[in-house]
């Protein structure tokens, strides 16, 4: 027992000696701070808590070979980056500062000063169309608004300031300039408010104002306001209540997106109550020569306003669609086909073509799409329309485009007997909004969506 105790004591002494020796070899007393750093003479802002260094630069500044013009670190410390080094600062860089056996990792990045208005809304309802290159903003209002006292809500670049301030009423009876400043950056925007007493065109929706539309419909609406002169957004309640003077209106466009998708006649009745509440007014507009562009699930509406006679069961019989936040990634261009003999239809004027002259290419690789579809299945394999002749006879419409399986995805109710024309596009390829884009996304064929829409509006209103 005595020998065992002696051995244990010796072992403990040995362990203590080894531990003491190991600790004494470590150099733990030095600091690893960056106290000053500049690139090309621009001083960095140092945050000791996050161990980050941010160098503010002018809005346009080349960053591919920036010189470290000063670098001060703790006494006795070392860093792989030295004064005089050239750094490519197109992305953030990591800096390791070491002092003996202690080290700290720092992040070095640059931030361009940016003085931009990114969003401009009047009275929380009317969204401005911003031209960043020309530094102009255009806002279109109905004649019911008082232009002498309008309140702008303005969103600007991070760290920037704007004068006049957001939320302060302004007189927009003449153009108003807004100046945005951010460190070295300065931009002056000219805002012009145009009052439309009698709209030439309307984008329809259930929301009381367009900013409450879903992203798909809002993207389409903003395009129309920017590209079709005299356009206003109108809710179905506006149409029902007669709050707008439609005496000069030539066309109404409804791009109806929702999830879950609208699967035919009965679901349309349940899911489009606001539109059906205004169907009598829309029908009167149509019967008096007004044109309609109906896209996505809005293609159901013509059956309810007399476009197919008294038969409101002529709605699309084959419908589906997904959610924006789980949209499908396009591996390449998605398309539908031009129906035989319709290559010269005005809808297809000047579209961007691929190798096949009968394909309408609508998306590009890297685009995320919900594939929301409202089409007509043709065939004897289920009830509905045995062939194209049966469909044409019952609906009175003209086929313009078909899917790969022959389903009717684009069609026209020609103007006749004083009634306006109607174009319907129910192809899942007809998509305005991608919630994100895949790596390397380049828009090319997706431009055909806007081209076709402009063609349809021009054709229907000529």
Q: Is the pTM of this model over 0.85?
A: no
Query: Which residue, 275, 270, 282, is CA-closest to 307?
Result: 282
Element (H, E) at 461: helix 447-461
Instruction: Specify the pLDDT at position 29.
Output: 60
Burial 121-150 (b: 16+ CB within 10 A, else e): bbbebbbbebeeeebebbbbbbeebebeeb
Please answer whether residues 211 and 124 qualify as being in contact, where contact means their C-beta atoms are separated by less than 8 angstroms: yes
pLDDT tens digits along 84-139: 999 999 999 999 999 999 999 999 999 999 999 999 999 988 888 899 999 999 99
30 vs 446, higher pLDDT: 446
Mean pLDDT of 163-171: 97
Residue in the block written with tokens 């395009």: 223
Please answer whether residues 312 and 303 qualify as being in contact, where contact means their C-beta atoms are separated by less than 8 angstroms: yes
Mean pLDDT of 178-189: 96
Q: What are the beta bridge partners of residue 231? A: 201
Pairing of strands 66-73, 117-122: unpaired
For a pLDDT cut of 70, what percent of the chain falls above it?
Answer: 94
Instruction: Specify the pLDDT at position 461.
Output: 97
E strand residue ranges, 355-440: 359-361, 368-369, 373-375, 398-402, 408-413, 422-425
Instruction: Specify the pLDDT at position 17.
Output: 39
Beginning with the edge strand found earlier in the chain, give each strand of the sheet holding 126-127 in spatial order. 126-127, 117-122, 152-156
Q: What torsion do the CA atoms of 28, 31, 32, 37 make, to the nearest 10 degrees?
A: -170
Tell me the average pLDDT of the chain: 92
Cα–Cα dist 345/148, whole Å: 46
Instruction: Specify the pLDDT at position 142.
Output: 86
């Amino acid at each position: 027992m005595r020998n065992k105790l002696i051995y244990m004591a010796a072992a403990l002494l040995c362990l203590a000696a080894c531990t003491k020796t190991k600790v004494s070899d470590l150099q733990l007393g030095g600091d690893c701070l960056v106290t000053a750093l500049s690139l090309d003479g621009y001083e960095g802002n140092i945050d000791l808590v996050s161990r980050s260094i941010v160098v503010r630069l002018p809005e346009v500044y080349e960053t591919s070979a920036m010189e470290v013009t000063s670098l001060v670190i703790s006494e006795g410390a070392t860093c792989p980056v030295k004064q005089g080094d050239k750094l490519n600062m197109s992305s953030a860089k990591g800096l390791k500062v070491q002092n003996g056996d202690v080290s700290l990792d720092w992040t070095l990045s640059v931030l361009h000063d940016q003085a931009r208005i990114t969003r401009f809304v009047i009275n929380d309802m009317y969204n401005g169309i911003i031209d960043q290159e020309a530094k102009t903003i255009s806002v279109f209002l109905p004649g019911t608004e008082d232009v002498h006292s309008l309140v702008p809500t303005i969103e600007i670049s991070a760290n920037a300031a704007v004068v006049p301030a957001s939320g302060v009423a302004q007189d927009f009876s003449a153009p108003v300039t807004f100046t945005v400043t951010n460190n070295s950056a300065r931009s002056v925007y000219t805002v012009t408010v145009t009052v439309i007493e009698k709209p030439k065109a309307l984008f329809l929706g259930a929301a009381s104002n367009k900013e409450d539309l879903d992203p798909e419909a809002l993207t389409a609406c903003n395009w129309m306001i920017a590209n079709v002169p005299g356009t206003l957004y109108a809710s179905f309640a506006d149409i029902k209540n007669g709050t707008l003077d439609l005496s000069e209106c030539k066309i109404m466009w409804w791009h109806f997106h929702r999830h879950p998708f609208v699967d035919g006649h009965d679901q349309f009745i349940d899911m489009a109550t606001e539109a059906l509440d205004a169907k009598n007014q829309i029908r009167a507009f149509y019967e008096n020569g007004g044109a309609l562009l109906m896209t996505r699930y809005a293609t159901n509406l013509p059956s309810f306003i007399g476009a197919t006679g008294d038969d409101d069961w002529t709605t699309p019989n084959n419908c589906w669609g997904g959610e924006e936040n789980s949209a499908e990634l396009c591996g390449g261009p998605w398309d539908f086909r031009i129906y035989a003999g319709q290559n010269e239809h005005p809808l297809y004027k000047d579209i961007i073509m691929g190798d096949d002259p009968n394909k309408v290419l609508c998306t590009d690789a890297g685009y995320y799409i919900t594939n929301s579809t409202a089409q007509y299945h043709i065939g004897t394999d289920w009830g509905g329309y045995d062939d194209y002749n049966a469909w044409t006879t019952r609906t009175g419409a003209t086929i313009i485009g078909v899917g790969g399986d022959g389903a009717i995805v684009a069609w026209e109710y020609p103007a006749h007997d004083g009634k306006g024309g109607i174009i319907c596009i129910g192809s899942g390829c007809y998509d305005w909004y991608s919630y994100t884009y895949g790596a390397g996304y380049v828009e090319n064929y997706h431009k055909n969506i806007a081209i076709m829409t402009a063609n349809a509006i021009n054709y229907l209103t000529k």
